[in-house]
Structures are given as structure tokens and as C-alpha cells.
Amino acid sequence: MPYALAYLIVFVVALAASLVGTPLARRVAHRFGVLDQPSARKVHRTPTPLLGGLAIYAGFWVSVIAATRLELPTSDIFLPATTLELAAIFLATIPLVVVGFLDDKYKTQGLPPRAKLAAQFLSAGIASAAGLELRVFDTLWLDLPLTCLWVVGITNAINLLDNMDGLSAGATAIAAVSFFTIAAMNGQILVGSLAIAL
């Protein structure tokens, strides 16, 4: 695999950034009381800090930025058009990150389901408007709603797994490795880099 070293560097940068960011997120969570309290439905017996997703999110983007700035074999794929796609991905994920943060912050009451659903559809809409849609039927009026349903469906599927520590993160890691393997085998360098950054 000619891009093996580049993939390795992207992975190591993402891992290092997440390892640095996780303790910081833990401290912030303790300081501001963003904690998951024990209950009869939960496995943990002590308050568990939330906000770990912010550390993973930051690590992902640090590694993506590193891939665009370092003299790597992958740098040549980050052309202006690709940079616009990355910007669209960043903008599309902002509503999900904000809602996730607020949901963690106000864990006891939680955000209304409609607010979460609206953020998910907003993210899907931003991605679709930027041309990041599933192309199954090659017909916009079919592919656009399919993209929205896919984004919302996957988001809620991962959220439903989030009832035990590490379960949703583990499932996401397995999915990312699978995406990376398929992308690398098919020469899709950008997709492989984004997947390995997760």
C-alpha cells in the first residue's frame, strides 16, 4: 500500500490529539458538572465525566488539518474542491456537536427530541446542499431524502448504543476500520484518511 506511511501518520496524529484532549475534556466536565450520574439503569456507580466526544472530534480535525499541511503522499488529494468538501463536512457536523454538548450539559432534563431531530436534519441538509449526498438513483429528488434518512438513521443508531461505556465508541471504531479497509483497497485516499482519523 503506497500510502501506508501517510495513513499511519494521520492515525498517530489523531490518536495523540485525542489522548491529549481527553484528560482536558474530563477536567472541564468535572469543573462544570457535566457528569453522567449513576442510576438503576446504568452500570457505573460513580459520576462519569461526559464531553469525551469533543476530544475525539478535535482529534479528528487536528489530524485532517495535519494531513493537508504536512508533506505527505496524501497531501496531493487535498485540492480546492476537496477542501470545500471538508469545509462542508465541518459545517454539517457543527449542529450535531452543539446538540451533543448541550445534551451532555443538561443531562438530567436532556434536550427535547424535536431539537435533536431538527439538528440531525439540518446537518444532513448542509451536507446534501454541498453535494455530499448518496448517489444511488442518480436522481436528486430520490437521493436527497435518502441521504437525510441515512444521516439521521445512523446518528440515532449510534445514540441508541450509548447506554454502556465504550459501546458506541467501539461500534464506531469497528465501522471506521471497515470503511478504511474498503477505501484503501479501492484507492479512495481521501475516504481512507478520514476513516483512519476516526
Q: Which residue in 86, 91, 97 sits closest to 25, CA to CA?
A: 97
pLDDT at 70 > cutoff 70? no
Confidence at residue 77, expressed as pLDDT on a 0 to 100 scale: 52
Question: Would the pTM of this model clear 0.85, i.e. be above it?
Answer: no
DSSP string, 91-125: HHHHHHHHHHHHHHHTTTT---HHHHHHHHHHHHH
Contact 13, 62 (CB under 8 A): yes
- Please report, for the chain, the start and end positions of each structural domain, with discontinuous segments joined by +: 1-78+180-198, 80-160
Tens digit of each residue's pLDDT (9 = 90 or more) over 38-69: 665 666 667 777 778 888 899 899 888 877 76
Q: Give the pLDDT band of residue 34 (cuts 50, 70, 90).
A: confident
Q: What is the mean pLDDT of the chain?
A: 81
Confidence at residue 40, expressed as pLDDT on a 0 to 100 scale: 57
Confidence at residue 176, expressed as pLDDT on a 0 to 100 scale: 92
Q: Give the pLDDT band of residue 35 (cuts 50, 70, 90).
A: confident
d(CA 45, CA 38): 5
pLDDT at 8 > cutoff 60? yes
